[in-house]
Amino acid sequence: MRIVLIGPPGAGKGTQCQRLVDLLKVPHLSTGEMLRAEVRGRTPAGIEASSYMDQGQLVPDQIIVGMVSRRLQAPDCRTGCLLDGFPRTLIQAETLDDLLERRAMSVDGVIELAVPRDELVRRMLARKREDDDPEVFSKRIASFEVQTAPLLDYYTGQGKLASIDGLGTADEIFERVRAAVKRFERAAWTR
């Protein structure tokens, strides 16, 4: 299964992916985590990326696409993966479809975690990651609304979107995620 998780900052993408890793036994690819590792390692990509991340802006595609493309070619991604934080723009979504198509693969399903803004802010204030400064967080939410939300229509058009209420305990939400994965599995069998 190749599953994409979409949601605003703090929606619980990483939290639900940790649970999905155990269920599906496929790797969790978080572009945010990959970028933070590059930043910690002070690599050229990390140094360039940090200037965008610190401002709550998207990192340029030339950094992201190469990073994801290399990761998708690793042997552990052969049977599937969880994509968390990628794609984030229509161009990235089209690039992902092309990358997978070249290997006769495709996205099996997309999960949207819908969470209202006041709850996102509450979660952010309780967490405190480097980019969880309130001003930067507002910019990350705006970036989601402008650049990423259009992907919901893109994947609805492909018949792949499952929109899930992201309010409740992490376990309650995981039950909804599991039900969506079951639907993706049924759809994949009939394809």
> In the complex, which residues of this chain contact Mg ion (CB under 5 A)?
14
The binder of 170, among ligand AP5, Mg ion, none, by C-beta within 5 to 8 A per type, is: ligand AP5
| Cβ contact 87:96 at 8 Å | yes
Question: Between residue 13 and residue 32, which ones bind ligand AP5 under the rule CB under 6 A?
Answer: 13-15, 31-32
Tokens of 19: 């649970």
Q: Which DSSP string do the residues of 64-79 spell out, in sequence order? A: HHHHHHHHHTSGGGTT
Residue facing ligand AP5 at closest CB distance: 32
Give the nearer residue to ligand AP5 in terms of CB position, either 40 or 186: 40
Residues 154 and 87 sit within 8 Å (Cβ to Cβ): no
DSSP state of 116: -
Footprint on residues 159-188 left by ligand AP5 (CB under 6 A): 168-170, 173
Calculate the CA 162 to chain-centre distance: 14
- The residues of the shown chain that bind ligand AP5, judged by CB under 6 A, are 7, 9-15, 31-32, 35, 52-53, 56-59, 64, 85-86, 88, 92, 123, 127, 131, 140, 168-170, 173
